Every structure is written in C-alpha cells, then in structure tokens.
C-alpha cells in the first residue's frame, strides 16, 4: 500500500511469480508500487526489477524507492520490449500486469476519471500525450461514439447517449465530468440497482482514450517472447473485456500449434505448447473484499513458459 492505494491480490500475485532471489522481473504496471515493493522485499541482492507506468504521477510517487535493483521507467506497458532492449535485458524470469485504473487515479478529481467529482474531462493515464476525452467527444461523430460506448462499455443505451452527446455540442460542448454524467443520466432510461447511469459510459471512454485493450493485446505476445523457460506471466484483470483477452491468449498458448487445415498430423507429432496454465483463476478472498471493495471484480490468471 502506498499513497492510499491498496494493491489487489498483492500476496497472491507475488507468490504466483515464483520469485528467484537472483531473478530479473518486470512489473509492467507500477501504479503506486505495491507489487514492486513486495517483489523487491523478496529479491536477493543480485536480483533486478524493471517497473513501468504510463502515468507521470505514478512515476513521481515511486521516486522515494531508493534501491539500485529497481529501474523505474515512464512507459506504456505495450512498449515493454523496447524498454527492456534499452536496458540491455534480453529475457526476464517473470512479468506482472495489474490492469485497469488505480485508486489514486479514480480518487483524484482533477484526472477526470470519475463522475463523483465535477472536473475537466481528461481521462488520460499518460497526461503527457494523446487526446483528452473532452477533445475526442468534440470531434467524433455519433456513430463513433456509439461504437465506443457499446464495444468498450457494453452499454445497451449507446445510441441514445451518443445522440445526446452530439446534440450537446451545439450548446458549447462537453468539457467536464459533471456535464457528461448529467447528459448520460438523462439519456439512460433505466439502470441496474446500485449502479450510477454513467458508470458504463465513463468506463468505455477511459478504456478507449487510453487504448487499454490494444495495449494489452500488444503486450501479451511481448511478455511471452521475453520470458525465460520456466518464467511466469501473471495478469490481474478488472473487467470482462480485459479478462477475455487474457484468457484466450493463455488458452491458445497452452495448446500445441495446429497444422494447416486438412494436413494429417498425429497428435504425438505436434510441437509442444509454449505455455502451461498454472492453477485456476484467482479471485479476492472475503477478508480482502471487506478491506477493499474495489477488489470484487479482480481475476488473476497465471501461465508458465515451457
């Protein structure tokens, strides 16, 4: 825990990495450093940890870790291969990905991730590059907005919301989280009990603005390539779209490569799979859920390179 952020499945994730004291590890999503600090606590003096984060504030929060074994780099996790090359690291003993938005990002009203605060509609995890959510909403057409809300938020009222957001541009546009939440609330006719009408729209825009699913799809093959035989890939997801990508990737890597259709090959002659699945998907236990309700949607999957 650091800066009010509780790392979800902290002990379980670090255990799943099966740390070697002299190993080299990659924490591709530093956040507030909970997992990284625990890895460092268990590494030997010759071990090494590379930690990445796209959020400049996360990198700033990590500056208090004075440890020569740690390389903390401002980078997107989809660029992990390039970062490792620049550090002269060919392969690692484990890769950890803790996906989604962190508590400090949600709880800092100025970041624009949450409808709990009326703030500029930014939503970028990396505030040094890319369009804000407000800038994108100002130029996207109704069809594009509808597709993002439907595909990334699984929002069944995507059409009505997109129509309302485009109409609002005539009156000066949408520049704050409060405006966006109010417009969505007006457009959504009904919602699940206990869920704010704008929840799915905010999630969809955040995922889209930060290219979260694209980054995940880019990073998983890189992680496999960089792992040493016996190295572990540990991924913690927080919603079904992420988890589906992770589950399918691990499942496919755990199957023998398939020959072209129609080519007769005996099962015994197929090349071995590149990965084995380690255990079943892991969810937060009752004690963690009581202490940190945001852990309720977390699922951790683990694979080991063969």
CA distance linking residue 49 with residue 57, whole number of Å? 20
Instruction: Tally the domains of the chain.
Output: 2
Percent of the chain with pLDDT over 70: 98
Is 303 labelled a binding residue?
no
3-state SS class at 70: strand
- Assess if residue 234 is contained within a domain: yes
Average pLDDT, the chain: 94
Is 27 labelled a binding residue?
no
Give the residue from 175, 209, 243 where a domain finishes: 209
Judge if 231 and 88 occupy the same domain.
yes
- Assess if residue 251 is contained within a domain: yes
Give the residue from 169, 193, 209 where a domain finishes: 209
Judge if 14 and 99 occupy the same domain.
yes
3-state SS class at 235: strand
Is 126 labelled a binding residue?
no
192-214 pLDDT per residue, tens:
788 899 999 999 999 999 999 99
pLDDT (0 to 100) of residue 5: 61
Please list, in sequence order, all residues whose beta carbon lies within 8 angstroms of the beta carbon of residue 237, skipping any fewer than 6 positions away.
99, 100, 243, 246, 298, 299, 300, 301
- Assess if residue 45 is contained within a domain: yes
Identify the CA nearest to 96 among candidates 150, 172, 16, 153.
Answer: 16
Q: How far is CA 275 from the centre of its chain?
A: 21
pLDDT (0 to 100) of residue 1: 44
Judge if 86 and 39 occupy the same domain.
yes
Judge if 94 and 221 occupy the same domain.
yes
Is 44 labelled a binding residue?
no
- Assess if residue 61 is contained within a domain: yes
- Assess if residue 108 is contained within a domain: no
Q: What is the CATH number of the domain that holds 271?
A: 3.40.50.150
Judge if 180 and 217 occupy the same domain.
no
Is 248 labelled a binding residue?
no
Judge if 201 and 230 occupy the same domain.
no
Judge if 197 and 223 occupy the same domain.
no
Q: Where are the alpha helices (DSSP H) in the chain?
A: 10-16, 34-42, 56-61, 80-86, 103-107, 133-139, 142-153, 158-168, 177-187, 199-209, 212-226, 240-253, 286-291
Query: Cα torsion for 185, 187, 192, 196, to the nearest 10°?
Result: -20
pLDDT (0 to 100) of residue 262: 72
Q: What is the CATH number of the domain that holds 140?
A: 1.10.150.170
**Residue owning tokens 């084995």:** 276
Give the residue from 209, 235, 261 where a domain finishes: 209
Judge if 48 and 191 occupy the same domain.
no
How large is the average pLDDT for residues 231-242?
96
Residue-number span of the structural domain to which 178 is assigned: 127-209
- Assess if residue 199 is contained within a domain: yes
61-84 pLDDT per residue, tens:
999 999 999 999 999 999 999 999
- How crowded is residue 37: how many other Cβ atoms within 10 Å of its Cβ? 22
Is 203 labelled a binding residue?
no
Judge if 143 and 159 occupy the same domain.
yes
Per-residue exposure over 250-283, b if at least 16 CB sit within 10 Å of its own CB, e if not: beebeeeeeeeeeeeeeeeeeeeebbebbeeebe
Check: CB of residue 152 under 8 Å from CB of residue 211.
no
Is 157 labelled a binding residue?
no
Length of the chain: 306
Check: CB of residue 18 under 8 Å from CB of residue 86.
no
Judge if 225 and 205 occupy the same domain.
no
Q: Residue 210 to residues 26, 113, 246: CA-CA distances in angstroms?
A: 21, 11, 18
- Assess if residue 267 is contained within a domain: yes
- Assess if residue 236 is contained within a domain: yes
123-140 pLDDT per residue, tens:
999 999 999 999 999 999
- Is pLDDT larger for residue 268 or for residue 59? 59
CA distance linking residue 63 with residue 194, whole number of Å? 39
How large is the average pLDDT for residues 95-108?
88
Judge if 140 and 179 occupy the same domain.
yes
Phi-psi label, residue 22: left if phi above 0, alpha if psi -120 to 50, beta otherwise: alpha
pLDDT (0 to 100) of residue 258: 73
Check: CB of residue 198 under 8 Å from CB of residue 181.
yes
**Residue owning tokens 């010759």:** 46
Judge if 237 and 184 occupy the same domain.
no
């Amino acid at each position: 825990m650091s800066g009010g952020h509780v790392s979800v499945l902290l002990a379980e994730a670090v255990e799943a990495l099966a740390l070697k004291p002299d190993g080299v590890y990659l924490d591709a999503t530093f956040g507030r450093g909970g997992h990284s600090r625990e890895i460092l606590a268990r590494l030997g003096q010759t071990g090494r940890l590379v930690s990445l984060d796209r959020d400049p504030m996360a990198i700033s929060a990590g500056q208090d870790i004075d440890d020569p074994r740690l390389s903390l780099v401002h980078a997107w996790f989809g660029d992990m291969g390039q970062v490792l090359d620049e550090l002269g690291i060919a392969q690692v003993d484990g890769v950890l990905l803790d996906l989604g938005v962190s508590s400090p990002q949600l709880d800092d009203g100025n970041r624009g991730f949450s409808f709990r605060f009326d703030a500029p509609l930014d939503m970028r995890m990396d505030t040094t590059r890319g369009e804000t959510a407000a800038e994108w909403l100002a130029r996207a057409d109704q069809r594009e907005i509808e597709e993002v809300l439907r595909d990334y938020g699984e929002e069944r009222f995507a059409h009505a919301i997109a129509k309302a957001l485009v109409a609002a541009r005539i009156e000066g546009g949408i520049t704050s989280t409060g405006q966006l939440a109010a417009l969505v609330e007006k457009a959504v006719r009904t919602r699940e009990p206990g869920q704010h009408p704008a929840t799915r729209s905010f999630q969809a825009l955040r995922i889209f603005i930060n290219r979260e699913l694209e980054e995940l799809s880019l990073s998983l093959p890189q992680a496999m390539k960089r792992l040493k035989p016996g190295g572990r890939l540990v991924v913690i997801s927080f919603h079904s779209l992420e988890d589906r990508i992770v589950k399918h990737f691990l499942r496919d890597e755990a199957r023998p490569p398939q020959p072209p259709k129609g080519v007769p090959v005996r099962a015994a002659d197929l090349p071995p799979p590149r990965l084995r699945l380690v255990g079943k998907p892991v969810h937060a236990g009752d004690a963690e859920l009581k202490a940190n309700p945001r852990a309720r949607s977390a699922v951790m999957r683990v694979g080991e390179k063969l």
